[in-house]
Chain A
Amino acid sequence: MKYLSEYRDPETAGKMLFELRRIVTKPWTIMEVCGGQTHAIVRSGLDQVLPGEISLVHGPGCPVCVTPLETIDRAIAIALHPGVIFCSFGDMLRVPGSRADLLTARSQGADVRIVYSALEAIKIAGENPDRQVVFFAIGFETTAPGNAMGILQAEKLGLNNFSELVCHVLVPPAITALLQSPDNLVQGYLAAGHVCTVQGLSEYEEIAEKFGVPIVATGLEPNDILEGVLMLVKLLEAGRVEVQNQYTRLVRHEGNVHARKAVAEVFTVCNQKWRGIGEIPGSGLMIREKFSRYDAARKFGVGDINVREPEECISGLVLQGLRKPAECAAFGVNCTPEKPLGATMVSSEGACSAYYKYKAI
Chain B
Amino acid sequence: MNHDTVQLAHGSGGKLSAELVEKLFLPRFANRALNRLEDQAVLDNPGGRLAFSTDTFVVDPLFFPGGNIGDLAINGTVNDICMCGAQPIALSAGFILEEGLPFDILHRILLAMEKAAAEAGVKIVTGDTKVVPRGGCDKIFINTSGIGVLPEDVAMSATGILPGDRIILSGTVADHGMAVMTCREGLSFQSEIESDTAPLNGLVEQMLKVSRKIRAMRDPTRGGLATTLNEFAASSGRGIVIQQSLVPVRGSVQGACEILGIDPFNVANEGKLVAVVPPEIAGEMVDAMKKHPLGKDAVIIGEVTADHPGVVALKTGLGVKQVLDMPVGEQLPRIC
- Give residues in A with beta carbon < 8 Å to B: 1, 4, 8-10, 13, 35-36, 43-46, 48-49, 63-64, 89-94, 103, 114, 116, 138-140, 142-143, 194, 222, 337-338, 347-349, 356-361
Q: Mark B187-210, 1 if CB is under 8 A from A, else 0.
A: 100000000000000000000000
- Chain B 3-39 interface 0/1 with A at a Cβ cutoff of 8 Å (1 = within): 0000000000000000000000000000000000000
The majority secondary structure among interface residues of chain B is loop
Q: Does B336 contact A (CB under 8 A)?
A: yes
A91 neighbours in B (Cβ, 8 Å): 261, 332-335
Contact status A114-B185, CB under 8 Å: yes
Pair B320/A45 contact, Cβ less than 8 Å: yes
Question: A89 is contacted by which of B255, B323, B333 (Cβ under 8 Å)?
Answer: B333
Q: With A8-B317, A44-B317, A361-B308 as given contacts, are A142 and B336 in contact (CB-CB < 8 Å)?
A: yes
Q: How far is the CA of A170 from the CA of B44 in the complex (A)?
A: 71
Could you list some 28 contacts between A and B, CB below 8 A? A1-B254, A13-B317, A13-B318, A43-B316, A44-B316, A45-B316, A45-B322, A48-B320, A49-B318, A49-B319, A49-B320, A64-B335, A89-B334, A91-B332, A91-B335, A94-B329, A138-B335, A140-B336, A143-B336, A222-B318, A347-B334, A348-B261, A358-B323, A360-B320, A361-B308, A361-B313, A361-B321, A361-B322
Closest to A92 in B: B335
B74 → chain A closest CB, angstroms: 30
Q: Are A63 and B335 in contact (CB under 8 A)?
A: yes
Asked if A93 and B332 sit within 8 Å, CB to CB, the answer is yes
B325 within 8 A of A: yes
- Contacting residues of chain B (284-336) with chain A, CB-CB under 8 angstroms: 307-308, 311, 313, 316-323, 325, 328-330, 332-336
Closest residue to B313 on the A side, CB-wise? Answer: A361
Tell me, in angstroms, the Cα distance from A357 to B185 when the chains sit together. 26
Q: Name the residue on A nearest B258 (C-beta).
A: A4
Question: B307 — nearest CB in chain A belongs to which residue?
Answer: A361
A90 and B320 contacting across the interface, CB-CB below 8 Å: no
Q: How far is the CA of A27 from the CA of B322 in the complex (A)?
A: 25
Chain A residues positioned under 8 Å from B317 (CB to CB): 8-10, 13, 44, 222
Bound: A328/B258 CA distance, A = 30
Nearest-CB distance from A9 to chain B (Å)?
A: 8
Which of chain B's residues 140-196 have a Cβ closer than 8 Å to chain A?
A: 185, 187
CB of B48 closer than 8 Å to a CB of A:
no
Q: Which of A89, A103, A338 has the largest count of B CB atoms less than 10 A from its CB?
A: A89
Alpha-carbon gap, A322 to B11, bound state (A): 65
Chain A residues in 8 Å Cβ range of B254: 1, 4
Report yes or no: A116 in contact with B322, Cβ–Cβ below 8 A: no
Could you tell me the distance between the alpha carbons of A46 and B319 in the complex, rounded to whole angstroms? 10
User: How near does chain B come to A142, taking the closest CB pair, in angstroms?
Assistant: 5
**Residues in B neighbouring A89, C-beta threshold 8 A:** 333-335
Residues of B within 8 A of A93 (CB): 332
Q: Take A45-B318, A48-B320, A114-B332 as given contacts and tell me if A361 and B185 are in contact as well, using a CB distance cutoff of 8 Å.
A: no
Would you call B335 and A359 a contact (CB within 8 A)? Answer: no
* B46 CB contacts on chain A under 8 angstroms: none
Q: A90-B333, A116-B333, A142-B336 are in contact. Are A1 and B251 (CB under 8 A)?
A: yes
* Chain A residues positioned under 8 Å from B311 (CB to CB): 361
- What 3 A-B pairs are tightest by C-beta distance, nearest first? A45-B320, A90-B332, A90-B333
Contact in complex: A357, B333 (CB < 8 Å)? no
| Residue pair B335, A139 in contact (C-beta under 8 Å) | yes
**Complex CA distance for A138 and B185, rounded to whole angstroms:** 20
Rounded to whole angstroms, the CA-CA distance of A317 and B155 in the bound complex is 53
Contacts A49-B319, A143-B335, A348-B334 given; 16 further ones with Cβ under 8 A?
A4-B254, A4-B255, A9-B317, A36-B336, A43-B316, A44-B320, A45-B322, A63-B336, A90-B332, A90-B333, A116-B185, A222-B317, A337-B328, A348-B261, A360-B323, A361-B308
